[in-house]
Amino acid sequence: MLDASLNDEVAWNDFLRENRRRVEVDLAEVERVIDLARRTPGLSAYDEGLQQLSIFFQVATRWYRDNAPDELPDLVDFWERYRAAVIQRFTGITTVELRAADKVVADIFTRFLQAVPNERIAYSKDATPLVYGGEGGLGGYFTHPPGLNRPFAIINLPHAAFDNVWQWLALPHETGHDIYATVEGLQTEVEEALAQRMQQAVADGEVEIPTVDVPLNTPWGAYTVQYEPEELLATIWRSWANECQADIIGVLNCGGAALAALQQIIGFEALDQWLIRPGADGAITDAPEEHPTSYVRNAFNISALRLIGQIAMADQLEARFAALRPEADSIVWFAAPSLPLVEIPTDAMIQSAEIAADVLVNQAFVSLGNQSYGDVAGFADEDQALVEAMVPRLVGGDPTFAQEPGSTARHALAATILALESDRNAGDVINRTFRHFV
């Protein structure tokens, strides 16, 4: 028999709240998993961090249960990913794949942070992110960056991609998100640098941007999306800052191979979403989707490659972009499938992408020790030569392919996509050779 007292809204909400309090991290399980980690080769170096993690989950579970029960499921979800990273290594089921992925991530993470002043590193330059085999399709890469009491990040490598190592070129991008969270002040600096440069570009007539004034009837009430040209372009690139700087990390570590693989995941579309959402205190907010529109993102990465001197790869990638992109006079953002909200000429957005690439490659940031991204990490012709030297050996299954003098794991990863394109029948050999011998 159902409890009729729950037919009252207050009683019903109290009932739901109590149910949420029952969702929690099993602290005994935390201790067992962390003990496994200490006995797992490759994780012993994380001993101090794992101890911090144990304390974090003990404190966080109690705090969320008492103060924010609605957020407890997210905490549990977060714990399950850490648990997966440990148990997958301890059992040895996916040891080969995770070892290879860890090498790539460690190479990129430490290479960048070694050049950043110690006082700017919020967590630890030794706290290399861990990779775990998780959910999602071939494009299902994401990361949980380090944070307060979270001593290291974890990156989701979808199981579906275990046999597509060339798409592991998403790992440098995800590592870029972790770097962004680790370097104090970098997010604020990058967002403001992009926004200010876009405002200047519109004010100086470098880029012509329309005004936006669209009244809407939303589920939360009447609302008008309204922007002057300078504010519109600044809003778009501020929203895209994290994703764009992560793309730059990919380009600066793997060159044009990073975009060659990214094109497989994002495509070339000129249509996007503009999100309308309820905010605090009944307010309504709007913002572009945080991932750059694929069409513009291609142009941004190609421009970045030209800025670092990778002209040949930029030309080849631009030819593919030109051949496969849709005919589009404008980049259009939709609030709903049949409701276009913001429309900017394609040429203007490509111009803005070139400006954004220059900011992220060449502008110095205080949080990086008055260095630019391009100063901290670069990809030169010598790097591309190392990559290309690996390609025939990788296609041939040579176990020494990654031992090219002067090369590291990032070069080996870059070689995977070029190897596949040189011989699309060699996919199995490329997968096996890279995973076992990188």
Query: Domain boundaries in the chain?
Result: 4-182, 186-376, 381-437
Residue 107 has pLDDT above 70, yes or no: yes
Q: Give the pLDDT confidence of 167-209 residue by residue, as tens digits.
A: 999 999 999 999 998 899 999 999 999 999 999 999 999 999 9
Highest mean pLDDT among 20-29, 58-67, 113-122 belongs to 113-122
Mean pLDDT of 154-170: 87
The span from the CA of 312 to the CA of 305, in Å, is 9
Bridge partners for 224 per DSSP: 215
Whether residue 89 contacts residue 157, with contact meaning beta carbons closer than 8 Å, is answered with: no
Say whether pTM exceeds 0.95: no
Per-residue DSSP letter, 240? T
Query: If DSSP codes are grouped into helix, strand and coil, which group holds residue 285?
Result: strand
Report whether 342 contacts 184 (CB < 8 A): no
Q: What does the chain come to in residues?
A: 438
Decide: helix, strand or coil at residue 121.
strand
pLDDT band at 288 (very low <50, low <70, confident <90, very high): very high
Q: Which two tokens stand for residue 367?
A: 């949080």
Mean pLDDT of the chain: 89
In the DSSP assignment, the letter for residue 120 is G
Query: CB atoms < 10 A from the CB of 44, how many?
Result: 11
What pLDDT was estimated at residue 145?
74
The pLDDT tens digits of the residues spanning 374-431 come to 999 999 999 999 999 999 999 999 999 999 999 999 999 999 999 999 999 999 999 9
Q: Per residue in 203-262, pLDDT tens?
A: 999 999 999 999 999 989 999 999 999 999 999 999 999 999 999 999 999 999 999 999
- Reported as type and span, the H/E element at residue 340 is strand 339-345
CA dist 425 and 400 (Å) reads: 21
Average pLDDT over residues 280-294: 92
Alpha-carbon distance of 301 to 319, in angstroms, equals: 13
Percentage of residues of the chain with pLDDT beyond 90: 61
Cα(146)–Cα(3) distance, rounded to whole angstroms? 44
Q: By the 8 A CB rule, do 326 and 269 touch?
A: yes
Inform me whether the pLDDT recorded for 124 exceeds 70: no
Residue type at 202? V
H-type helices in 204-255, by residue range?
229-239, 241-254
Q: Say if residue 66 is exposed, middle or buried (CB neighbours under 10 Å; 0-12, 13-18, 19+).
A: exposed
Least confident of 67-81, 285-299, 415-429: 67-81
- Phi and psi (nearest 5°) for 73? -60, -35
For residue 126, what pLDDT is reported? Answer: 66
- Phi/psi at 112 (5° precision): -75, -50
Q: What pLDDT does residue 91 have?
A: 74
In this structure, which amino acid lies at residue 197?
R
CA angle 432, 259, 427 (to 5 degrees): 20
Separation between Cα atoms, residue 436 and residue 418, nearest integer Å: 18
Report the C-alpha gap between 134 and 356 in whole angstroms. 33
Pair of tokens at residue 31: 């201790």
Query: Which amino acid does the sequence have at 263?
Result: Q
Lowest mean pLDDT among 21-25, 56-60, 85-89: 21-25
C-alpha distance across the termini of the chain, in Å: 62
β 130-134/154-158 pair status: parallel
- pLDDT classification of 58: cutoffs 50, 70, 90: confident
What are the angstrom distances between the C-alpha of 75 and each of 79, 81, 300? Answer: 6, 10, 35
pLDDT value of position 125: 65
Phi, psi of 333 (to 5 degrees): -105, 135
